[in-house]
Amino acid sequence: MTISSAHPETEPKWWKEATIYQIYPAIGVHQGAWRRCHLDLAIYDSPQDDMGYDIANYERSGQPTLGMKFITDLVINHCSSEHEWFKESRSSKTNPKRDWFFWRPPKGYDAEGKPIPPNNWRSYFGGSAWTFDEKTQEFYLRLFCSTQPDLNWENEDCRKAIYESAVGYWLDHGVDGFRIDVGSLYSKVAGLPDAPVIDENSKWQPSDPFTMNGPRIHEFHQEMNKFIMKDGREIMTVGEMQHATDETKRLYTSASRHELNELFNFSHTDVGTSPKFRQNLIPYELKDWKVALAELFRYVNGTDCWSTIYLENHDQPRSITRFGDDSPKNRVISGKLLSVLLVSLSGTLYVYQGQELGEINFKNWPIENTRMSKLEITMMRSRKSMEKLEGDEEVLEAIALISRDHARTPMQWSCEEPNAGFSGINAEDESKDPNSVLNFWKEALRFRKAHKDITVYGYDFEFIDLDNKKLFSFTKKYDNKTLFAALNFSSDSIDFTIPNNSSSFKLEFGNYPRSEVDASSRTLKPWEGRIYISE
């Protein structure tokens, strides 16, 4: 199965070759990062109703001090209900900022006299996407929490304020790039019509057809890109763009269109979950994950677009638990295998805090009591019309596997940290262990950098033995070079074949010590990964 057949856009850029390390500034993380990395960073002012994604003030000074590149989150689909913009907007129906948000009168009143929301849109956190304001007797739209009112991008004054405050302020403070949160939601369909009924068990329906990748979305991103890149700046932008087709992805990321440099795909992290309801787990095989991973860069084929590669972020569980083996026996080796996979794929590489330590999903924690999982439980109750969740082991099992809480635990700095000590998996211990996941990641990144022509910019990606349920193998090319990767996603030893039995392939990297590997052997040990290069 060939994924690409033409040379993609390969103009060298720092943000293509960089490894971007994501810090989630939650409890036990940002203070440690500041202290250990000499960072002078600030967190947006936030009431923390949605773990910082409800911003009350976009303007907080701070910048890196080690000469490193700094990319900040840009959350501008919505703000906090504590933001001055919204306070003004809700103060009266005649306020100049009233139209900076989506205000609508009730559709009517029910038998008890309660106001009925303007349409049937569902919040991503469950229930109606509308909240009633007693003072002005109107609803405001909020696709997420009730304290996260959506900004009205149709209003030009609102957009200008967003650019000047949320974007321009950080550009003036030396930011090198933006991760654009839910960047596909800015353009809502005019009239905000009712969504089609696809969930007969709920009166609230997904609004995606009217809120995702809407009619003016590309216009808005081009306008913002022009603001960001003015004065000849070379700023990197990466968008969180859900539910985009390959064609839409190309529109977003084509260098000639000047919208985004790259975007995040979700097909590979959503594998094994229902497309209608992520908390419904469905069986999947390695082949399914291979094909899903290929979607990360399929749309780039023969274009001037660029792609990203990642397995973890603040919205995903730990990749070793999800795609490897988090047992004490195989945690380290399968974590290293995932590292081998990532450094061999083309595109900009993202690593999430703790991933480099081989962190796994937390165990023996009452999942129904954790903060974000409570929201997920609320979503399930809304979507499945459940009156009672307790005792539903299948639902709790799904949350336990894929909840984003797993990525939002305190950073595991050392086993002696006050209030959050961690034994076994922590940065201090792993930095001293030459065989740790942390030290292997350092080796893996050195390998990727040394061979960046084919690791970062490689093309003509082709699966070998796609249907194999244990072996993940592929080739890709760059000019006269060919990279061949053979990865064993099982606890068994398995055989593999070098393409065309060519003797020109040289073993360049793997996750077992070289002293334990026979380069001429065609048998992979449990959870072993190898990368060969032929020139």
Domains of the chain by residue range:
8-77+156-188+214-432, 459-534
**Residue 296 above 50 pLDDT?**
yes
Dist. CA 163–CA 146, nearest whole Å: 24
**Residue 117 above 90 pLDDT?**
yes
**Residue 41 above 80 pLDDT?**
no
Average pLDDT over residues 75-100: 97
Distance of CA 204 to the CA centre of its chain: 26
Dist. CA 185–CA 208, nearest whole Å: 9
Dist. CA 122–CA 484, nearest whole Å: 46
**Whether the Cβ atoms of residue 70 and residue 25 lie closer than 8 Å to each other:** no
Superfamily of domain 459-534: Golgi alpha-mannosidase II (2.60.40.1180)
Known catalytic membership, residue 390 = no
Q: Choose, from 181, 288, 315, 465, the residue flagged as catalytic.
A: 181
Q: Choose, from 9, 150, 240, 462, the residue flagged as catalytic.
A: 240
Distance of CA 103 to CAs 100, 130, 192, 220, 282, Å? 9, 9, 11, 21, 39
Average pLDDT over residues 278-284: 83
Known catalytic membership, residue 240 = yes
Rounded to the nearest integer, the mean pLDDT of the chain is 87
**Residue 61 above 60 pLDDT?**
no
Q: How sure is the predictor about 386, in pLDDT bands with cuts at 50, 70 and 90?
A: very low
Average pLDDT over residues 416-438: 78
pLDDT on residue 523: 98
Query: What fold, for 8-77+156-188+214-432?
Result: TIM Barrel (3.20.20)
Question: 359-380, pLDDT tens digit by residue?
Answer: 999 876 665 555 555 555 666 6
pLDDT on residue 525: 98
pLDDT on residue 275: 76
User: Which of 385 and 435 is assigned the larger pLDDT?
Assistant: 435
pLDDT on residue 390: 45
For CA atoms 173, 179, 180, 181, the dihedral sign is: negative
**Residue 310 above 90 pLDDT?**
yes
Q: What percent of the chain has pLDDT over 70?
A: 82
Lowest mean pLDDT, pick from 26-40, 101-115, 154-168, 336-350: 26-40
**Residue 66 above 80 pLDDT?**
no
**Residue 103 above 60 pLDDT?**
yes
**Residue 56 above 60 pLDDT?**
no
